[in-house]
Amino acid sequence: MTLEAVLAALHLLAILTFVVFLSSQAALCRIEWLNAAVVERLARLDVIYGVAGAVMIGSGLARVIWGVKGASWYLSQPLFHIKITIVLAMVLLSFVPSAAFRRWRQNLHSTGALPPAHEVAKVRRLVMIQSHVLPVVAVIAVFWARGW
């Protein structure tokens, strides 16, 4: 029972951290606010966001394997599969902004140039898609927890 509580707490903390740093990226990734300090900050935020995402997925996987309900219960739930599919789609989608933030930072260090407006808009759109899809995952989790 203690293991279940620890895994649930770790999962919840990772989710909250993930949400905070995704929201921070969404707030900062705007052409009108972009300067050298923001480029640096976006790159650092993305690292924390990535770690939080990895802990979120890892702790969720640990709950499936070692949790009280057991893997067979999780794997028999259709909403679990929908939730995991959406999370994996978000992970794949997040690679583009992550690569862009790193590229922007490297370019800033080598040439001093900020990214072009069209690229910032593209990356912001992807971050915003993730930001709007994430609540869907939360709603699915709520309905799933209530026996749907």
Contact by Cβ (8 Å): 56, 121: no
State the residue range of the domain holding 100.
2-145
Number of domains making up the chain: 1
Secondary structure class of 114 (helix, strand, coil): coil
Contact by Cβ (8 Å): 94, 64: no
List the structure tokens of 65. 């394997």
Residue with structure tokens 């259709």? 78
Separation between Cα atoms, residue 34 and residue 116, nearest integer Å:
10
- Give pLDDT, residue 5: 93
Along the 148 residues of the chain, how does pLDDT read in single tens digits? 799 999 999 999 999 999 999 999 999 999 999 999 999 999 999 999 999 999 999 999 999 999 888 899 888 999 999 999 999 999 999 999 999 999 999 999 999 999 999 999 999 999 999 999 999 999 998 888 787 7
- Give pLDDT, residue 106: 98
Separation between Cα atoms, residue 61 and residue 93, nearest integer Å:
20
Separation between Cα atoms, residue 125 and residue 96, nearest integer Å:
11
Residue 58 DSSP one-character state: H
Residue 20 has φ and ψ, to the nearest 5°, of -60, -45
- Give pLDDT, residue 67: 87
